[in-house]
Amino acid sequence: MKTRLVIAAAAAMLLNAPSGFAADYPTSSITLVVPFAAGGPTDTLGRMLARRMNAVLGQSVIVQNVTGAGGSLGVGRVVHAEPDGYTVSLGNWSTHVINGAIYPLDYDLISDLKPVALLPSAPQLIVARNDVPATNLKDLVAWLKGRNVNVGTAGVGSAGHVSSLLFERQTGAKFVFVHYRGAGPAMVDMVRGTLDVMFDQASNSLPHVRAGEIKAFAVTSEARLSVAPDIPTVDEAGLPNFHVSVWSGLWVPKATPNSVVARLNAAVRAALADTALQEKLIALGLDLPKPDAMSPEALARLQRAEIDKWWPIVKAARMKSE
């Protein structure tokens, strides 16, 4: 509750600030580029955020799905767009950190983009098709060994892909990777039974777990989800310290005026201060960012720290684009 009140107060202050903002921005619709297919967790977050930002900014925020190459094509679309604040990148840990160590990008994730604001983050669920005989994570690991098991991902370098590789290293399991243009299409095949396993953001998997369409074995966080307290943590389930949280954020082209960035940042804060939106995000298993982590500078520090942490790991694993 305290976090919600602080976000609301900060948003009100920023939206009413007399200077430092682009007074005439925005005057037309804004395109929010989501680098994954419709129906996945990043797309869901983008559409929920866009609806609330519409009201805050007084202009339409239109989600555009630009898929391919693990989300790098969508990010590239924004990098090469006019730096006027009308084309915004919604991305996450995989698109704005991991991809730089895997794909031959024609842009630099740090110098060619300007951070706007940190968005909610999500732990992953380790899930499997319904007819997998295992009833807990230890049984699942035992069942996986010695089998050619299909694991679905949102693309090479996606959070699900990286988690799958770390899971292989920690447990000795071996996967056959099936890469999609987003977690949404992968989940369709998971529900159908075409895929065996996924390491998927809770916001994407929880509705299907609740519907009894797939099995959940653990959440990749230190604490259980408040909205799904029956799902054990990886530590409780026998896979200690397998902690993965997929954070998201907004970026714009590097030459975008700081006044426009400030206006967008204020709009995000105001959107996330909306109680109805907060409740929907929390119900999906998402964690709201703390107010002091939502500045452009804080997102820049987080992105740089994550690059320093994960690039050596990814490169050591010899992950390559396909």
User: What are 187-199's pLDDT values in tens digits?
Assistant: 999 999 999 999 9
Residue type, 260: V
**Per-residue pLDDT for 1 more than 90?**
no
Q: Is 126 left (phi over 0), alpha (psi -120 to 50) or beta?
A: beta
Residues 185, 187, 189, 191: is their CA dihedral positive or negative?
negative
**Per-residue pLDDT for 233 more than 80?**
yes
**Percent of the chain residues topping a pLDDT of 90:** 84
DSSP 222: S
Across the strands, what pairs with 198? 127, 152
Continuous H helices in 172-233:
183-192, 202-210
Q: Which residues of 280-294 are buried (b: 16+ CB within 10 A; e: fewer)?
A: ebeebbbbbbebeeb
Pairing relationship of beta strands 214-219 and 175-179 according to DSSP bridges: unpaired
CB count, 10 Å around CB of 232?
Answer: 17
| Cβ-based neighbours of 61, under 8 Å, separated by 6 or more | 29, 30, 32, 49, 50, 51, 53, 54
Average pLDDT over all residues of the chain:
92
Is residue 21 very low, low, confident or very high in pLDDT (cuts 50, 70, 90)?
Answer: low
**Per-residue pLDDT for 139 more than 90?**
yes
What are the tokens at 90?
């919604």
pLDDT of residue 174: 93
How far does Cα 151 stand from its chain's mean position? 19
**What is the pTM assigned to this prediction?**
0.84
What are the tokens at 53?
């930002």
What are the tokens at 240?
């200690």
Is residue 11 very low, low, confident or very high in pLDDT (cuts 50, 70, 90)?
Answer: very low
| Cβ-based neighbours of 34, under 8 Å, separated by 6 or more | 42, 43, 46, 63, 64, 65, 66, 74, 90
| Cβ-based neighbours of 278, under 8 Å, separated by 6 or more | 4, 272, 288
Across the strands, what pairs with 92? 248
